[in-house]
Structure 1
């Protein structure tokens, strides 16, 4: 079986939230309950994701009656690589120190993996949230909104 690279559930939800709120009318807010229902996400986990994205300045979190979330900027201002880097909050792909690797100092694998990771993020940085909403994606998300 071939292993594949996989983003965390936190990142997956974060990207879905950004995509979902990106089709809202200007100034319109979307509730966490609505997003949770649309993506079958637990409210407590979704709240953590939304709070983190608010701290990053990606979402405006409106409290109180009629509250919810909305994008802080136009979708074209969000670079996917920057978003994924922040949401993933990962350390190096490989840790040569813990447990100590006997190849440390003589191995090129860590450098190669770092280059691959840099290339992955560089490719994502070429694209915006608005790009991700292109094709049929935007239409599907709009239908999700209408189902609310």
Structure 2
């Protein structure tokens, strides 16, 4: 399993905002991009989505910028990753279910259920397509591997759901020192 750069940059952005010396002061995308040596234009899309999902606040204008909208202890890593990863389709017999990326806050569902809800499901590969052609892998109806992959992804998400942004910034002073050196 490999997360996209998009998720990596989203996590880095949240870390940057969480370890600023004065968390309520505004930061800007250029500072984050410079600190991590990543593309400002790519980061702009990520920051926009994090704002839509309620992880950061954006203030427009001459003295505008961004800051965390939630306390680091309230940002669950598993929930975040499920919201921003485009899919978890390790093999072709997985299909992505509709995601919450349109701004629906999955955090409430997480607090209530505390159970893994992956944005994917196994599909019946023996199903016939609209052209009456069989789709996918020929062994899918009897394949044991797809169940193992599903179990592995579930375990991956379960581990992430056990951590928050606060857990990964417990060395805040060291992180802030490294990020301010740029």
What TM-score do you get using the length of structure 2 for normalisation?
Answer: 0.72
Instruction: Name the counterpart of 1:30.
Output: 27
Distance 1:99 1:41, change over 3 A: farther
Helix, strand or coil at the partner of 2:163: coil
1:88: how far off?
1.4
Instruction: Name the counterpart of 1:15.
Output: 11
- 1:82 and 2:79 matched: yes
Instruction: Name the counterpart of 2:153.
Output: 117
Helix, strand or coil at the partner of 2:142: coil
Distance 1:95 1:130, change over 3 A: same
Helix, strand or coil at the partner of 1:61: strand
Gaps of 5+ in 1: none
Gaps of 5+ in 2: 94-124, 126-133
User: Which residues of 2 match residues 48-87 of structure 1 at below 5 A?
Assistant: 48-87=45-84
Cα contact 2:33–2:43 (8 A) shared by 1: yes
| Cα displacement string for residues 80-120 of structure 1 (whole angstroms, at most 9, x for unaligned residues) | 11112222121422113595110121112111111110111
Match of 2:168 among 132, 138, 142: 132
What TM-score do you get using the length of structure 1 for normalisation?
Answer: 0.88
Root mean square deviation of aligned Cα: 1.8
Helix, strand or coil at the partner of 1:60: strand
Helix, strand or coil at the partner of 1:105: helix
Cα contact 2:35–2:180 (8 A) shared by 1: no
Instruction: Name the counterpart of 1:101.
Output: 137
Instruction: Name the counterpart of 1:39.
Output: 36
- 1:143 and 2:173 matched: no
Cα contact 1:92–1:114 (8 A) shared by 2: no
Q: For residues 99 and 66 of structure 1, what CA distance do their matches in structure 2 show? A: 54
Cα contact 1:36–1:43 (8 A) shared by 2: yes
